[in-house]
A and B are shown apart, each in its own frame.
Chain A
Amino acid sequence: MSLSVAPLVISLVIADRIRRYVKVNKLPLWEKPLKYILFFSVFLFATEAFLSANEVTKWIWHLYLIALIIFSLQQKEFRVLRMFIVAFVPYEIVSLFSDLSEVISVDFFNTNESYLKNATSLTYIWMAAILFSQNRQFKAAEKERIKRQQEDELNRAIAIRKVELEVLVAERTAELTEQKEELEHALHELRTTQSQLIQSEKMASLGELTAGIAHEIQNPLNFVNNFSEVNAELIDEMKQEIDKGNMEEVKAIANDIAMNEQKITQHGKRADAIVKGMLQHSRTSSGIKEPTEINALADEYLRLAYHGLRAKDKSFNATMKTDFDETIGMINIIPQDIGRVILNLITNAFYAVTEKKQQQPAGYEPTVSVITKKTGNNILVTVKDNGNGIPKAALDKIFQPFFTTKPSGQGTGLGLSMSYEIITKAHGGELKVESNEGEGAEFTINLPI
């Protein structure tokens, strides 16, 4: 009699394979049944060895193995292991057939014993071949699994890093957004300040004008008042002459009244024009070009600037020279804007000569000239003074916004930069400066017709 070593090994191999599979795929429910299988196999083998009951245990082994094989094949969770389990099926069939034939027909068993032995050997080869290939597949699968695991770990690490990076990006984005908002806010404030400054520059030049305007408006108003008083007297006188019947005298007086009436209208209109000009100056530029007499405009602003300064400083005096080219006629410009430029240039010129006068009172005659000239397709308006001139270092900067040589608080530094913008951008012209230090400065507006 012999011990059932092969069934024991087969049951142990199947149990071990399933155990490994269960471990890898994390199926803890199977751990207990596997222990029972292991225990039962060892117990059966031990019983067989001790009791030498080979004839009985042989059949228990068959039942046990068949049950184990069928049960394993039926479990859906072990589908992958089917090929592995199938490896033992031929052995069990041949072994069962051999044992059965031994019991049923000893003759048949004896005559075919060699065939049965060969068949058993074949089943061993089959088993070995399948186990070998299964082992290879298993190893490959294991490698694949490890690789996948590593990949998973890598992916997880990447995912963690990604989350970290996203947090960083979000922080950075928030920072940038905040900075952007700050910058936008600053820009907005800057724009507001700029427009306020431009407005204050306009107001400042309006202030310069106010005194001049008051003086300018006083004269026509005086004429209006005086001429109307005279007319009232003349009418009384005329009545007396009518009573006397002196018709010649009546006619003469009537002519005088008519003439005075004309003067009243004329000076009323003059005051009206001055007020309108003042309003125009403070008003935002219409930006519309209209036919304008540049000579009249220049003359008006020269007078306004002069009387403005005179009103502020009684000791101020300067010779004003004008040389107007009468052939110019009307040209298309934005009158408020060009008026502002001319006023700015003239005010600067008066400021320069006043400064020089204060430094060397004797023998110096402050002079400001305004010259207009038509040359080909251009109109030149030149404002010239014999003041201290502009230092070479400052000459490049005078058209820059906020550049000023005046003491702080006295100039906005926007006058010339605004003038430059008006001439170059709005009128497509040029604003040029020439200056010899100590001898004066000459600004020339060049307007294309």
Chain B
Amino acid sequence: MKILVVDDERDIQTLFEQRFRKEIREKLIEFVFAFQGKRH
């Protein structure tokens, strides 16, 4: 499963990656982060 997380708080990435580290490790979920409308 691929999830897009949109938020202007950059720390959201660290938080999500740690919170769901087991799921990420087991490749159950994949996160994509966006901090603004335009992708950089």
A263 CB within 8 Å of chain B = yes
B1 CB within 8 Å of chain A = no
Number of A-B contacts (CB under 8 A): 20
Instruction: Say yes or no: A230-B9 contact (C-beta < 8 A), given A259-B14, A263-B14.
Output: no
Which residues of chain B are near A267, meaning CB under 8 Å?
Answer: 11
Which residues of chain A are near B39, meaning CB under 8 Å?
Answer: none
A256 CB within 8 Å of chain B = yes
Q: Are A223 and B18 in contact (CB under 8 A)?
A: no
Which residues of chain A are near B19, meaning CB under 8 Å?
Answer: 226, 229-230
Give chain B nearest CB distance to A236 CB in angstroms.
Answer: 12
The B interface, classified by DSSP as helix, strand, loop or mixed, is: helix
Q: Are A260 and B18 in contact (CB under 8 A)?
A: yes
A227 CB within 8 Å of chain B = yes
Which residues of chain B are near A229, meaning CB under 8 Å?
Answer: 19
A223, A234, A256: the one within 8 Å of B11 (CB): A223
Q: C-beta contact mask, A258-275 vs B, less than 8 Å → 1, else 0?
A: 011001000100000000
Give chain A nearest CB distance to B19 CB in angstroms.
Answer: 5
B32 CB within 8 Å of chain A = no
B15 CB within 8 Å of chain A = yes
Give chain A nearest CB distance to B23 CB in angstroms.
Answer: 13
Q: Give the residue among B9, B11, B18 with the most A Cβ atoms within 10 A.
A: B18
Which residues of chain B are near A74, meaning CB under 8 Å?
Answer: none
A194 CB within 8 Å of chain B = no
Q: Please, which residue of chain A has its CB at the minimum distance from the CB of B14?
A: A263
A219 CB within 8 Å of chain B = yes
Report the bound CA distance from A226 to B17 in whole Å: 12
Q: Please, which residue of chain B has its CB at the minimum distance from the CB of A226?
A: B15
Q: C-beta contact mask, A224-244 vs B, less than 8 Å → 1, else 0?
A: 001101100010000000000
Give chain B nearest CB distance to A118 CB in angstroms.
Answer: 148
Instruction: Kindly state the interface size class of chain B when it binds its partner.
Output: under 10
Which residues of chain B are near A234, meaning CB under 8 Å?
Answer: 18
Q: Please, which residue of chain B has its CB at the minimum distance from the CB of A266?
A: B11
Report the bound CA distance from A297 to B15 in whole Å: 27
Q: Please, which residue of chain A has its CB at the minimum distance from the CB of B15?
A: A226
Which residues of chain A are near B14, meaning CB under 8 Å?
Answer: 259-260, 263
Which residues of chain A are near B11, meaning CB under 8 Å?
Answer: 223, 263, 267
Q: C-beta contact mask, B3-40 vs A, less than 8 Å → 1, else 0?
A: 00000010100110011000000000000000000000
Which residues of chain A are near B18, meaning CB under 8 Å?
Answer: 230, 234, 256, 260
Q: Please, which residue of chain A has its CB at the minimum distance from the CB of B18?
A: A230
Report the bound CA distance from A425 to B9 in whole Å: 39
Give chain B nearest CB distance to A102 CB in angstroms.
Answer: 155
Q: Please, which residue of chain A has its CB at the minimum distance from the CB of B19?
A: A230
Report the bound CA distance from A260 to B18 in whole Å: 9
Report the bound CA distance from A267 to B11 in whole Å: 10
Give chain A nearest CB distance to B17 CB in angstroms.
Answer: 9
Report the bound CA distance from A229 to B19 in whole Å: 9
Report the bound CA distance from A267 to B15 in whole Å: 12
Give chain B nearest CB distance to A359 CB in angstroms.
Answer: 26
Report the bound CA distance from A259 to B14 in whole Å: 10
Which residues of chain B are near A223, meaning CB under 8 Å?
Answer: 9, 11, 15
Give chain B nearest CB distance to A325 CB in angstroms.
Answer: 22
Report the bound CA distance from A256 to B14 in whole Å: 10
Report the bound CA distance from A15 to B16 in whole Å: 140
Q: C-beta contact mask, A208-222 vs B, less than 8 Å → 1, else 0?
A: 000000000001000
Report the bound CA distance from A126 to B19 in whole Å: 149
Report the bound CA distance from A212 to B31 in whole Å: 29
Additional A-B contacts beyond A223-B9, A227-B15, A229-B19 (17; CB < 8 A) = A219-B9, A223-B11, A223-B15, A226-B15, A226-B19, A230-B15, A230-B18, A230-B19, A234-B18, A256-B18, A259-B14, A260-B14, A260-B18, A263-B11, A263-B14, A263-B15, A267-B11
What are 20 A-B pairs at a CB distance below 8 A?
A: A219-B9, A223-B9, A223-B11, A223-B15, A226-B15, A226-B19, A227-B15, A229-B19, A230-B15, A230-B18, A230-B19, A234-B18, A256-B18, A259-B14, A260-B14, A260-B18, A263-B11, A263-B14, A263-B15, A267-B11
Sorted nearest first, the 10 A-B pairs with minimum C-beta distance are A230-B18, A226-B15, A230-B19, A223-B11, A219-B9, A263-B11, A256-B18, A227-B15, A263-B14, A223-B15
